[in-house]
Amino acid sequence: MRINKKKFIYLISPTKINKSFYLDLTKILQQKKVSFFQLRLKKETLKKKIIIGKKIKKICKKFKVKFLVNDDVFIAKKLNADGCHLGQKDMDIIKARKFIGNKIIGVTCHNSIKLSKIAVKNKADYIALGAFNNSKTKKVKYKASINLLRKVKKITKTPVVAIGGINSDNYKNLLLNKANFLAISGYIWNNNKLKPIEAIKILK
């Protein structure tokens, strides 16, 4: 997986997709800071996920952004997405690999070196660590530290995605400590002060 330092954002979709979303996404991807876009819709029907996924995939393709699906390997395959992201309770990576072949597969490793080592051994394309901060998007069960990030970076060359409450105040510290990508959602989509395009412009 090639890493472009300028494109350090791993953008996660809002939980609800509204009418203005597609235009906002287009403007955001034009900024050339996003490497991945993850479709994360927990409450939509399968049919709706496919319709939304097809539209987003087109926009991602236009801006050379990798389009990933959260949790669901079947939807990833149906949409012919660039890959999928697996939580610890989702399909295991070896089965997922057989199912979607040579696509990007990332794995949530919370705050665990043990889980990170297992993911690396199973040839995950990236490992996601966190939460590094309190998050509005998700209840924080696992707290990760900069120290953990440093330890994981020492034991593997597999790219690390940092997650959890990342915003314009705390993102630089994660990049300085060699997180390859920053998973961002709430700061962009649920920002009370800034529109999505203004929010992304601040992250440099």
Task: Give the chain's domain count.
Answer: 1
What CATH number does residue 78 fall under? 3.20.20.70
67-89 pLDDT tens trace: 999 999 999 999 999 999 999 99
Residues in contact with 30: Cβ distance below 8 Å, sequence separation at least 6, in sequence order: 63
Task: Decide if 184 is inside a domain.
Answer: yes
Q: Are 1 and 173 in contact (CB under 8 A)?
A: no
pLDDT of residue 180 exceeding 90: yes
Task: Decide if 195 is inside a domain.
Answer: yes
Residue range of the domain that includes 18: 9-202
**What's the pTM?**
0.96
Q: Is the dihedral of CA 187, 190, 193, 194 positive or negative?
A: positive
For range 59-68, the mean pLDDT: 98
102-144 pLDDT tens trace: 999 999 999 999 999 999 999 999 999 999 998 776 777 889 9
Task: Decide if 44 is inside a domain.
Answer: yes
Task: Decide if 77 is inside a domain.
Answer: yes
Task: Decide if 2 is inside a domain.
Answer: no
Task: Decide if 3 is inside a domain.
Answer: no
Task: Decide if 1 is inside a domain.
Answer: no
Say how many CA atoms lie within 13 Å of 19 toward its Cβ.
0
The mean-pLDDT minimum among 2-16, 47-61, 67-81 falls in 2-16
pLDDT of the residue at 39: 98
Q: What angle do CA 42, 18, 48 make, to 5 degrees?
A: 50
Task: Decide if 56 is inside a domain.
Answer: yes
